[in-house]
Amino acid sequence: MDYREAGVDVVAGRDFVRRLRSMVESTRRPEVLGAFGGFSGVCQIPSGYREPVLVSGTDGVGTKLKIAQATHSHSTIGIDLVAMCVNDILTSGAEPLFFLDYLATGKLDPEVLTQVVEGIASGCRQAGCALLGGETAEMPGFYSHGEYDLAGFCVGIVEKAELLDGSQVQLGDQVIGLASSGVHSNGLSLVRRVIEGGSSAGLAAGGYSWSDRVAPLGAASLGEIFLTPTCIYVEPIRAARQAGLNIHGMAHITGGGLPENLPRCLGFGQSIKVDPASWPVPEVFGWLSRVGAIATRDMYHTFNMGIGFALVVGPDQVDQALHWLHQRHIAAYKMGQVVAGSGELLGLEE
C-alpha cells in the first residue's frame, strides 16, 4: 500500500502546482521577492511610506461553493474569494499587497482546481495585489468526491496617518452607496433553500434547478445569476483617494447586510440614517423575497440589497464624489447621513 492507494496522489499534486506558475506570475508586484515554489512567500514594504501599517483580513465564500459545484462552473468563484478579503481591508484605507489561498478537496481534480486558481489570479489582478502563495490539501474521507473548500488571506498597507478607524467620521457626513453586482457572497444558504427547497417551516420554496431561466431575471440561468462574482472596489476607491477625495469612512456590505455593516465604520455616539428609496434594489432581491416568502426585514439583514460598498464623506464632498464615480461608470447613490446615536442603522423600518 502507498499514499496513492490511500487516496492522495502526490504526483498529481506536484503537476497541479506546476500548472499554476504562470497564473501566479501574472499577479506579481515589484515588491515580491524570490521565485515561485518555495516554502513561503516574501514581500518587502513598498518604498515611500513614513509609518507603514499592515492590515490583514481573511474570509471564504461560504455556500456559494455549493452552487459552483452543482453547476460545474468554477471560473469565477476565486474572484469572490479575493473580493471578500480585499474589500474588507480596503475599508481601513489599505492597499492590498499580497494574497494567499487555502484550497482543500477530497480528490484533486486538476482541471477544476485550475479554473478556481485562475479566478483567484484574476481577482488579484483586479485588486492590484500579488498572489504570493497558497496551499492545496487533498483530504480523502474528509471531503466528498467533487467537493472543495476555499479560504483566503490578504495583507495590505496604509500610511498610519491615513488609516481609517472611525475617528474621522463626523455628524452630518453623507453616505454614498456603490452598487453591488448582485447577491455577492452572502446569504447563499438562504438562496439555495429558495431554489432547491427544504423542510424549514414557513418557507415556500423549491421546485427550481440552477439551469432554469425565470422571466423577471432575464436570459441568464439561476446558476449564472447567483454565481455573478463579487465586485472588487479597490481600484476605483484608491484612485478616488489619490485624486483628492477625502473619505472619512468605508463599509463593505457582507454578511448581516446593511444593518450590521454600515455602522461598523462609525465613531462613538454615531448612527447612520438611510433612505431605502434612494437607490434601486435589483430585481433578483425582489424575486427572492416573493418566491421565498422572505420578510423585508430579513432581506435587509441577509443580503446587500444592491449596495456592495459604502463611503462616508463630508457634506462638501458628496457631489464631487458622486460626479467622480459616475464619470467612471460606477453606479453610486447618496443614501443617507451620519446622525447622533449608538451605532444603529436607522430608516429601514420607517
Buried b (16+ CB within 10 A) or exposed e, 9-21: beeeeeebbeebe
Query: What pLDDT, on a 0 to 100 scale, did the predictor assign at position 203?
Result: 42
Query: Would the pLDDT of 2 be above 70?
Result: no
Residue-wise pLDDT for 15-63, tens only, equals 777 777 788 888 899 999 987 777 888 999 999 999 999 999 999 999 9
Residue 179 backbone phi and psi in degrees, to 5: -60, 145
Domains 10-162 and 174-346 in one fold: no
Query: Would the pLDDT of 202 be above 50?
Result: no
CA distance 281 to 186: 16
Query: Would the pLDDT of 173 be above 60?
Result: yes
Cell numbers describing residue 109:
481534480
Residue-wise pLDDT for 269-324, tens only, equals 999 999 999 999 999 999 999 999 999 999 999 999 999 999 999 999 999 999 99
CA 90 to chain centre: 11
pLDDT band at 149 (very low <50, low <70, confident <90, very high): very high
Could you tell me the sign of the dihedral formed by the alpha carbons of 67, 72, 73, 75, in that order?
positive
Q: Does domain 10-162 have CATH number 3.30.1330.10?
A: yes
Query: What pLDDT, on a 0 to 100 scale, did the predictor assign at position 201?
Result: 42
CB-based contacts of 296-300 (< 8 A; 24+ apart in sequence): 297/348, 297/349, 299/257, 300/257, 300/258, 300/259, 300/348
pLDDT band at 157 (very low <50, low <70, confident <90, very high): very high
Q: Are 238 and 156 in contact (CB under 8 A)?
A: no
CA distance 146 to 290: 32
Fold of 174-346: Phosphoribosyl-aminoimidazole Synthetase; Chain A, domain 2 (3.90.650)
Residue-wise pLDDT for 225-250, tens only, equals 999 999 999 999 999 998 899 999 99
Query: Would the pLDDT of 200 be above 70?
Result: no
pLDDT band at 172 (very low <50, low <70, confident <90, very high): very high
For residue 281, the surrounding DSSP H or E stretch is none
Q: Are 282 and 308 in contact (CB under 8 A)?
A: no
Higher confidence at residue 204 or residue 79? 79
Measured between alpha carbons, how far is residue 224 from residues 108, 183, 210, 215, 228 in Å? Answer: 25, 12, 8, 14, 6
Could you tell me the sign of the dihedral formed by the alpha carbons of 109, 114, 117, 123, in that order?
negative
Q: Is 293 helix (H, G, I), strand (E, B) or coil?
A: coil
Cell numbers describing residue 87:
474589500
Q: Parse the chain into domains and list their residue ranges.
A: 10-162, 174-346
